[in-house]
Structure 1
C-alpha cells in the first residue's frame, strides 16, 4: 500500500518529462539521465494559455451582449466586420455530417490526444537551448489557450461563438474568434520546435556518447 503513491507519482513525473537526478548503481544511465535541470516550462505556457482563453471568452461575451445572432456590423468599412454566428461544428466545419453525440466524442478524443502531446513538449523543451525555449512555450501556450477557449464554450452550449470576419475580394470570409487565431498562429511554430528538438538531440548525443558495444578481443592462448 505504501508504494502505490510513490509509483503513481513516478509515472506522472515521467510523463511530465522529469528524469532521475541521481544515477542508481548498476542501472543504465539512459538517454536523458544527465538532464538535471528542473522543468519550469509549464509556467510561461500556462500564463499565456490563460491570457488567450480569458481574452477569447471576454470578446465572445461582448459580442453576444451587443450584436444579435446573425447580426453583421462593419468595423473597418470594406475590410473587417463583426459577424455574430454560432458554429455547432468542429474547426473548419469538419465532420458536419456526424450527429452531435459523435462530434462530442471526437472533440473529447482530440482534446485528450492534444493534451498528451503538449505535456510531452513541455516535459522535453526545457532541455533546449535557452534562446530556443521560448518558441516551445509560445507554441504550447497558444495551442492550449485556443483549445480551452473553444472547448470551454462547447461545454456550456456546444456551439462556438464566431464573430471576426475579413473581406476577401467580393466576399466576406467565414468568421472566427480569438481562439481560432491562436490555434492557426501556433501551427507554423511547430516547425522550429521540431527543428530545435532535433538539434538538441544531436548535441546531447555528442556530449554523452554511448559506450562501444564491440566485444574486447580475447587473449591469445
Structure 2
C-alpha cells in the first residue's frame, strides 16, 4: 500500500503543479523568483531527460516515449513486488521513480510533451528546466544507488568476517 500511496502522491503533486503553471503562465513566459538563481518558466519538452531527442522530427518519437514510460512504470511496479521482501529500503526509490515516470507519461498523453517549469541557473550556467516528476525520478534513482552501495559494502563486510 505504501508504494501506491507514494506513487499517487508524486503524480498528484506533479500534475497539480503543472496545471498551476498552465493556468498562470503563457508558453515560454519566465518569472524571476530568486535573482541570479531561480525562475519559474513554462516550457515544454517533446524529448527525454534534458531534451534528448527533442529535435528529432519523426512520427515515432512520441510513441517511443509513451512506450518507454509505460514499460518503466510497469517494470518498476514489478520490481517493487520482487524486492519488497528482499530489501524494503529500495521501495521508496522504486515508488519515486515510478511516480515521476507516470507523471511525465500523463503529460505526453494529455499535451504531447512534458511541461517543465523549474529553472535554476548559477554563474552563467543554466540547468535545463524540469518539473516535480523529474525531481522524483532523480531523487529515487539517487536513493536506489545510495542504498545499493551501502548494501554492497555491508555484504562485502559480512563476506570478510
Normalising by structure 2, report the TM-score: 0.82
Q: Which has the higher helix share?
A: 2
How many residues of Structure 1 are paired with residues of Structure 2 in the alignment? 155
Residue 144 (1) aligns with residue 98 (2): yes
**Which has the larger strand fraction?**
2
Match of 2:35 among 56, 77, 80: 77
Query: What does residue 114 of structure 1 align with?
Result: 72
Residue segments in structure 1 that go unaligned for 5+ positions in a row: 1-42, 204-221
CA–CA distance in structure 2, aligned partners of residues 65 and 172 of structure 1: 25
Greater relative contact order structure (CA < 8 Å, 6+ sep): 2
> Runs (4+) of structure 1 moved beyond 3 Å?
97-100, 192-197
Residue of 82, 86, 89 corresponding to 2:44: 86
Larger Cα-atom Rg: 1
CA displacement, residues 162-201 of structure 1 (integer Å, 9 cap, x when unaligned) = 110111212432211101111111112222554649x79x
Q: Residue 113 of structure 1: CA displacement?
A: 3.3
Unaligned stretches of 5+ residues in structure 2: none
Higher mean C-alpha displacement, 168-177 vs 137-146: 168-177
Q: Deviations over 1:81-129 (max 9, x none)?
A: 101112222222222343353112322332343234323322222323x
* C-alpha separation in 1, matches of 2:27 and 2:83: 42
Equivalent residue, structure 1, for 2:122: 168
